[in-house]
Amino acid sequence: MPAIPANLDTKSDPAKVLVFLAYDDVTLLDIAGPMQVFEAANSLRRKGGNPTPYDIRLATRTGGRVRSDVGVPMEACAWADIRLPSDGMVVVPGGPGIWDAETQASISTYLRSQPATMEIASVCIGAFLLGHAGLLSGRHAVTHWKYCKRLQADFPDTHVKADSVFINDGRIWTSAGVTAGIDLALAIVERDFGHSLAVDVARGLVVFLKRTGGQSQYSKILEIQAAIPDGRLSDLHAWITDNLHKPLPIDRLAERLGMSPRSFARYYVERTGTTPRKAIEDLRIDTAQRMLLDYPKLSIKRIADRCGFMDEERMRRAFLRQFNVTPSEFRDRFASTQEP
């Protein structure tokens, strides 16, 4: 469905039915995150005098109470009781319960019974249930980074793109781990009702508008932090992130930890597996990525200054080393086609 122009009267349009499938040991956030995005869109549209755009349902094979992975029970209807039009969408969340053979069989059967035009989306390892239903054959897909190799092994005719946050291949949507379901839902809202509504939803939920589908699901900040078992460098990294626009020589970093530059450099490599200089460049690139996408009208020169590259050419060389594209090409490839 193409994005609906802001000036188009949609008062007579029926709500799009979204059916979230549930099963015992489903991950609660895989359901609650995307569902909250769609409900926030409903609320904002109603406030603007428009009809509710999404009819959100939670369904299981038999209906009744279902247990989430954290023990919180949820009430669901039976999916056979839902009249799901061909322009609706089925959302398949992940969770430990996907490995249950009965769950795999029942959900796969339900998914295969849907019209060939039906949009189907998965969150996190819910992609495996799409795979069992034969829906990923020949398609590009993604799941949580820990399970990408297994998804590829289990469904070898699927093109698994391990770095992506979410992927839309025809009528099939797949997303990476847990919170990537929020990114996916925001992208669907933007596709259905335009950039402005998606921005308002993201602002209300206090999240980034989106990490684009082509962006890596890995964050350099998280990657570096995860490499520090004792957490001693966490405060330093927070300070670096707040001061990326300034020169950050190694003696200044060492001083903050009360160490000599030589001892600090050795300590940093031992704890993180990378040099302070490389870590700072990675953090600057990570920040520049977000700014290129979140601020499409901000010049590349201003972004280079704010991220501490000192000049546009240095940022250009850093992007070529990291992504084999220039900052301009990165923005053109991944930024929204609609201006905020």
Mean pLDDT (whole number) for 104-110: 97
Judge whether 268 lies within some domain: yes
80 pLDDT higher than 60: yes
Say which residues have a Cβ less than 8 Å from residue 122's Cβ, sequence separation at least 6. Answer: 91, 92, 93, 94, 129, 130, 143, 173, 174, 175
> How many domains in the chain?
2
> 190 with 245, same domain?
no
What are the start-end ranges of the H helices in 99-249? 101-112, 127-132, 148-154, 180-193, 195-205, 220-226, 234-242
Write down which residue in 157, 172, 205 finishes a domain: 205
Please tell me the least confidently modeled range out of 155-159, 186-190, 192-196, 241-245: 192-196
- pLDDT band of residue 163 (cuts 50, 70, 90) is confident
Judge whether 293 lies within some domain: yes
232 pLDDT higher than 80: no
> 127 with 53, same domain?
yes
Boundaries of domain holding 276: 220-334
Which one has a higher pLDDT value, 331 or 214? 331
Mean pLDDT (whole number) for 223-243: 71
Residue 334 is predicted with a pLDDT of 65
CA distance 130 to 107: 9
Judge whether 194 lies within some domain: yes
| C-beta of residue 28 within 8 angstroms of C-beta of residue 44 | no
Mean pLDDT (whole number) for 84-109: 96
- pLDDT band of residue 229 (cuts 50, 70, 90) is low
Residue 24 is predicted with a pLDDT of 96
Mean pLDDT (whole number) for 35-48: 95
Write down which residue in 178, 205, 232 finishes a domain: 205
> 82 with 196, same domain?
yes
CA distance 277 to 224: 13
Judge whether 1 lies within some domain: no
> 230 with 265, same domain?
yes
> 188 with 258, same domain?
no
Domain of 130: which CATH number?
3.40.50.880
Residue 10 is predicted with a pLDDT of 40
Residue 235 is predicted with a pLDDT of 80
CA distance 260 to 148: 42
Residue 36 is predicted with a pLDDT of 96
Judge whether 174 lies within some domain: yes
Which one has a higher pLDDT value, 153 or 271? 153
> 187 with 237, same domain?
no
| C-beta of residue 228 within 8 angstroms of C-beta of residue 272 | yes
Q: What is the mean pLDDT of the chain?
A: 87
> 235 with 284, same domain?
yes
Write down which residue in 140, 173, 205 finishes a domain: 205
Mean pLDDT (whole number) for 36-64: 95
> 167 with 21, same domain?
yes
Give the bridge partners for 120, in sequence order: 90, 172
Judge whether 64 lies within some domain: yes
2 pLDDT higher than 60: no
> 157 with 233, same domain?
no
Residue 208 is predicted with a pLDDT of 55
> 176 with 229, same domain?
no
| pLDDT tens digits along 262-303 | 999 999 998 888 899 999 998 999 899 888 877 888 999 999
Judge whether 339 lies within some domain: no
The pTM score is 0.67
> 288 with 228, same domain?
yes
Residue 223 is predicted with a pLDDT of 57
Residue 100 is predicted with a pLDDT of 96
- pLDDT band of residue 15 (cuts 50, 70, 90) is very high
> 175 with 37, same domain?
yes
Domain of 232: which CATH number?
1.10.10.60
Judge whether 11 lies within some domain: no
